Amino acid sequence: MQKITPFLWFDDNAEAAVEFYTRIFPDSRVLNMDRHGPGGPAPRAACSWPSLSWLASP
């Protein structure tokens, strides 16, 4: 079976997108949720780089 590595880009609301995908895909979970710090390009604590696993992939 071929391994597929998706890359999703969101200009805004990345955290809401992660919550959506982990709800609709079985066996999915959030692995990491990096957040912007002070002086970053987005509001402080906004999600900047989420990592998730779905369909039992590592």
In a domain, 1, yes or no: no
In a domain, 36, yes or no: yes
pLDDT in the model for residue 4? 72
In a domain, 47, yes or no: yes
State the number of CA atoms in the 13 A half-sphere of 56 facing the CB. Answer: 0
Determine the average pLDDT of the residues in 28-51.
75
Q: pLDDT of 5-23, one tens digit each? A: 777 777 778 788 888 888 8
Integer Cα distance of 52 and 58 in angstroms: 9
Q: Output the DSSP codes for the chain.
A: ----------SS-HHHHHHHHHHHSTT-EEEEEEE--TTSSSSTT-EEEEEEE-TT--
Our count of domains for the chain comes to 1
Give me the domain span that covers residue 22.
Answer: 14-53
Q: pLDDT of 48-58, one tens digit each? A: 777 778 666 55
